[in-house]
Amino acid sequence: MKKVRTRCTLCNEEAIYYLRSRKLRLCKRHFIEYLKTEVINTIYKFEMLKNVKKLLIAVSGGKDSVAMIHILHQVCKDLNIEMLGLVIDTGVGEYSKRQVEKAREIFEILNVPYRIERFSSYGIDITRPDLEKLTKRPPCSVCGIAKRYIMNKVALEENCQAIATGHNMIDIAQYALANILTGNLEYLKKLLPKVDEGPRMVRRIRPLYFIDEKETKLYVDLLDLPHVEDRCPLAEKVENVQNTIRMFVRELEDRHPGSIRAFVEKIPTRIAPLIRVEGEEKYGICKICGMPSKGEICSFCKIRMLLSGK
């Protein structure tokens, strides 16, 4: 009978992870080293922290953002970059409370100062049964607009030159495919590892751009880092195209390891450069809140008005 090799390819310790795309078996130490190196290489390759003196790190309390802040924490220390954590309470019952709790725990373990922002302070309740009817948007769309707005606002208030978010490779592939399917190709220009959109739009960086979600999960488990295990209940409810695309992306990567990585690698190098956006996207100033906006009133203020009945 063929003996199964369960030793690390690099050091002969017991292997705990098989990196199928590179045919490497890794022990705990080498897996952690591999993941950190991957993230750090992405940060340097895309010059994510160039000219950054203070970084806002958005943490949802999930495995991805917890792994991200754990790695960034060391990078920022080495580069002498100040850090500020941000957790947004989206107001989805007990789930959001647990998220805030876990985010707070990791900020305190790493000794990173942080802010907690709540949708409720802005008059946003994404659990309202009439949300979709009033805003003509599903909850995840309202949630996404509100989160991006709050992150940018906090970054401006706190003089941060970049915002790090924990989107992983599977998220990126899912968003890219969804936007290709709907013909919304301009969006791919914003789905890059680093996005500098314009004045008063703080740079967004995605250090986990090439990292599989399975790897962030293993990382937080191996290091016993606090994180929420469950998904947002609103995501569970929506039986939509996004969920189906995500299942497809997951299955493709599982059956053909490296295939999604190869696709995601081509977004900044081959796909986005081919996309021409008609006319420059110009940002003005929202006449209500003074934040960057493509129209007279920004999407966030429009949503707030619709929800408050004004």
Q: Where do we find the tokens 């991006």? A: 148
Least Å distance, CB 89 to ligand SF4, is 11
The token pair at 142 is: 């309202």
Q: Does 137 bind ligand SF4 (CB under 6 A)?
A: no
What would the two tokens of residue 145 be?
Answer: 């607009």
Residue span binding ligand SF4 (CB under 6 A) among the ranges 159-167, 228-236, 266-274, 278-286: 228-236
Which residue type, as a one-letter code, is found at position 285?
I
178 lines the binding site for ligand SF4 (CB under 6 A): no
Tell me: does residue 303 bind Zn ion (CB under 5 A). no
Question: Residue 8, interface with Zn ion (CB under 5 A)?
Answer: yes
Give the x/- contact pattern for ligand SF4 in 191-220, rule: CB under 6 A: ------------------------------
Query: Binder to ligand SF4 among 109, 195, 201, 234 (CB under 6 A)?
Result: 234
The C-alpha angle with vertex 57 and arms to 53 and 59, in degrees rounded to 5, equals 170
Is 58 among the residues that bind ligand SF4 (CB under 6 A)?
no
Region from 107-115, 229-237, 283-291, 295-303 binding ligand SF4, contact rule CB under 6 A: 229-237
Q: Which is nearer to ligand SF4, 125 or 158 (CB)?
A: 125
According to the binding rule CB under 6 A, does residue 125 interact with ligand SF4? Answer: no
Going by C-alpha positions, the residue among 160, 166, 69 that lies closest to residue 110 is 69
The residue range among 38-46, 179-187, 260-268, 283-291 that interacts with Zn ion, by the rule CB under 5 A, is 283-291
Residues of this chain, 241-270, that bind ligand SF4 according to CB under 6 A: none
Q: Among the candidate windows 16-24, 104-112, 137-145, 273-281, which touches ligand SF4 by CB under 6 A?
A: 137-145
**Which of ligand SF4, Zn ion, none has residue 85 at its interface (CB below 5 to 8 Å by kind)?**
none
- Of the residues 143, 145, 177, 301, which one makes contact with ligand SF4 according to CB under 6 A: 143
Per-position b or e across 184-222, b if 16+ CB within 10 A of its CB: ebeebbebbbbbeeeeebbbbbbbbbbbbbbbbbbbbee
Q: Which residues bind ligand SF4 (CB under 6 A)?
A: 90, 126, 139-140, 143-144, 232, 234-235
